[in-house]
Structures are given as structure tokens and as C-alpha cells.
Amino acid sequence: MKIALIAHDEKKDDLLRFIDKHMDFFRNQILYATGTTGGRIIKHTGLDVKRCKSGPLGGDQEIGAMVANNTIDCIIFFRDPLTAQPHEPDVSALLRLSDVYDVPLATNEGTAEAVLYHLSHKDRG
């Protein structure tokens, strides 16, 4: 499964803890991430992550293009709802594309837990 991982600055540590908690799952996936988040994941976990540009420099749009081209199966995007983001239009476009192309998108840890549970159990009947 091809999974995109994104986190706003104030949520990057939360995403790293989430990945640590579910390392057995993530170890067996093809991972993509925006630049800074991807770098942190690689350094922290040693996982193989294909990095896009940083979110504000077009990384969210790169992942959106992958969604539109049927390259991404799921997005985990730990968003910071309390801090204004200078690239908010790009974030909104990514959210819209995930809806248009019916790609699961988790924007917080609770939803990410539910999505991973589903993905881990969907082939078991």
C-alpha cells in the first residue's frame, strides 16, 4: 500500500510517536512524505521514505497530483488546527482531491488509528 505522511510543524513529533507505535504496519508499506516530515521520519525510524518537496514549497501539491494519478492509497496528515498555515490553499486542495478520488485521509491520531485498523483488517473478511 502506498501511504503519504504529512505533519504540520507542531504535529511532527506526534506523527513520529504514531509511526513508532505502528512500526510493524509502516515497515511493510511504500511511504511518501513531504520534505521536512520525511526527513524526520527517516532519521527517527530508518524507514525508506520517498520525499517530496516541503509542504509550503509544493509538497502538498505533489502528493495531491499523486492522488489524482491514482498513486496514493491513503494519506495520514497530522494537521495543526490552531496555527494558521501560509500554504492553506494547498492543504485545502489536497483535502478536496482526497474526497474527489475517494482516498482515505486521516487528519488526526484518532482517525489515523481507525484507518490503520481498517487497512490492517480489510483482507481478513
Where residue 112 sits, what CATH number does that domain have? Answer: 3.40.50.1380
Residue 28 resides in a domain: yes
12 is in an annotated binding site: yes
* Residue-averaged pLDDT of the chain: 94
The residue whose grid cell reads 510517536 is: 17
Q: Is the pLDDT of residue 125 over 80?
A: no
Residue 76 resides in a domain: yes
Q: Is the pLDDT of residue 90 over 80?
A: yes
Name the pairing type of β-strands 105-106 and 74-78: parallel
Q: Report the percent of the chain where pLDDT is more than 70.
A: 98
How many distinct structural domains can be found in the chain? 1
Locate 45 and state its grid cell: 525510524
98 is in an annotated binding site: no
More confident residue, 123 or 85: 85
Range of the domain at 80: 2-120
Write down the pLDDT at residue 55: 87
Q: Is the pLDDT of residue 8 over 90?
A: yes
Residue 113 resides in a domain: yes
Question: In the structure, what pLDDT confidence band is assigned to residue 76 with cuts at 50, 70 and 90?
Answer: very high
Write down the pLDDT at residue 123: 64
Residue 51 resides in a domain: yes
Active-site residue identified among 13, 48, 60, 90: 60
Q: Is the pLDDT of residue 105 over 80?
A: yes
Residue 75 resides in a domain: yes
Locate 33 and state its grid cell: 512524505
d(CA 42, CA 81): 25
Residue 125 resides in a domain: no
What's the rounded mean pLDDT across residues 36-49?
97
Question: In the structure, what pLDDT confidence band is assigned to residue 87 with cuts at 50, 70 and 90?
Answer: confident
The residue whose grid cell reads 482531491 is: 97
121 is in an annotated binding site: no
Residue 60 annotated to the active site: yes
